[in-house]
Amino acid sequence: MNLKKLLENFPFAVEIKGKSDVGILGLSDHSKNVGPGFVFFARRGKNYDGNEYVEEAYLAGARVIVSDMYNPFLSKEVTQVIVPDITLAACRFSDVFFELPADKLYTIGITGTAGKTTTTCLIRHLYGSDRPLAMSTTIERRIGELSFPSSLTTPNQIELQKFFFDAAARQMYGAVLEVTSHSLMQNRLGSVRFDQALFLNLSPEHLDFHHTMDAYFAAKQRLLDALKPGAAIIYNADCPYMRTMKREGAFSFGSDPGCDLSGKVVQESEEGVEFILSYSGNRYEGKAPLIGAFNFSNVMAALSSALISGYALETLLSRLMSFEAPRGRLERVPNTKGTIFVDYAHKPEALREVLLSLGKLRKRRLIVLFGCGGDRDRQKRPVMGKVAEELADVVIVTSDNPRSESPKAIIDEILMGMSGHNAIVIEDRRAAILKGVHMMEEGDILLIAGRGHARQQQVHGNMIPLDDVEVASQGSVHA
């Protein structure tokens, strides 16, 4: 690809300092990922300025720098493209360089406060090998048997287009991905358009960014602007916000018999849920190896997607039986005394749903261990403390990912929502997990909530190895 080609029919005026007849081998907005012949996009973020890494990108091989300012000190070997909007420029470059790969795939976008990862994995599983789907989640990006850790739930424009490009090159039928409210506000999707949009649920989250629930919902609704002509809209009719997605041609799922796909859980156990479905005037019985009624909503969302794509419900219910939950989503840790679960629940409503489900399964005590992330929505901290105290028999309050904040200060804000009568405070998360495991007695359930699949903890700018599943496993061996 040539720079001149990338700049053809550009949507806004640019200033070029240097030659435009330059061969392009790749795109990146991270200096560590730059290689010879790359274009480097010097983005400005909340806590960084890409212009400070231009020299590093040049030394790594970048021959074109896209920025909103001219750098007179940069080597004349580098062509500088000065633009008013780095994000839009990255979108345009990615579209042309990767040749709009999403248009060659059947694309499914999933948004909602909770359940996006599980639903994404469910859809990939249900479509099966006959229609293989690449997927992008909070945990990983997967194309066939290839898997890469995710740094962002929804990748930026460059990474997203490369993801679609690689999926098309490996002859995937399509791609399913989580779409966050942040990504919609920050235009990370660029020109990507979807064949299906799923709207799962909405509860308070990211209000430090969106400020109000109405603004949060408005951000989610932006997914409607990223649909292909004739795209399917699937919504959860049990959620008051998502119910407003009702329109001609939209597909609804929920507990109301009037939904296109309706259902209810008839039995919950540690092995999963048993349920009844109603679809096209017929009644179906099924089982899912997922714990909790809240997961049944994710199951119905995934089934809705596959039904719209033409699958028979009998086939889907059979495939559902072999599904394995993603890492860190009510993941069970072997223990001889009771049952240990590690889960990603880090929002009040998610914690409430998990505790309610596990409360139905306990034979003795329900112990919950959790914290709250630093540099994030502070309003939810006392709310989560209140939820934990109301629904668990024993509460261990500890650190989550404190980031730049004081772990103690975060814990103090959690405790503001609690009476403190049954709270054990242990700031060090590893020590807290070991304490929780060691205090278990026959029949207890221990929920380790908040970080799920994470393998590192962010403390004062440092990434410290910490895997909740691994620590709980070690504690169980020595308990």
Residue 46 has what pLDDT? 79
Q: Tokens standing for 385?
A: 């403390």
One DSSP character per residue, 249-298 reads T-EEEESSTTSSEEEEEEEEETTEEEEEEEETTEEEEEEES--SHHHHHH
Which architecture does CATH list for 3-97?
3-Layer(aba) Sandwich (3.40)
Q: Find the mean pLDDT for residues 13-41.
A: 95
Residues contacting 138, CB < 8 A, separation 6+: 116, 117, 150, 153, 178, 344, 453
Residue 196 backbone class (left: φ over 0; alpha: ψ -120 to 50; beta: rest): beta
Q: How confident is the model at residue 205 (pLDDT cuts 50, 70, 90)?
A: confident
Name the average pLDDT for the chain. 95
Assess contact for 246 and 337: CB atoms under 8 A: no
Q: pLDDT band for position 479 (50/70/90)?
A: low
Q: In what order do the strands lie in the sheet with 272-279?
A: 146-149, 140-143, 133-136, 174-178, 106-111, 194-199, 227-236, 251-254, 261-269, 272-279, 282-288
Distances in whole angstroms, Cα of residue 174 to Cα of each of 115, 123, 366, 394, 420? 21, 11, 41, 45, 50
CATH architecture, domain defined by 331-478: Alpha-Beta Complex (3.90)
Q: What are the residue ranges spanned by the domains of the chain? A: 3-97, 101-320, 331-478
SS3 of residue 337 by DSSP: coil
Beta pairing, strands 79-82 & 15-17: antiparallel
pLDDT in tens, 375-414: 998 999 999 999 999 999 999 999 999 999 999 999 999 9
Full-model pTM: 0.94
CATH class of the domain defined by 101-320: alpha beta
CA distances (Å), 453 to each of 240, 344, 427, 450, 462, in order? 30, 7, 20, 9, 18
Q: Look at residue 317 and give its three-state secondary structure.
A: helix
How many Cα neighbours within 13 Å face the side chain of 158? 17
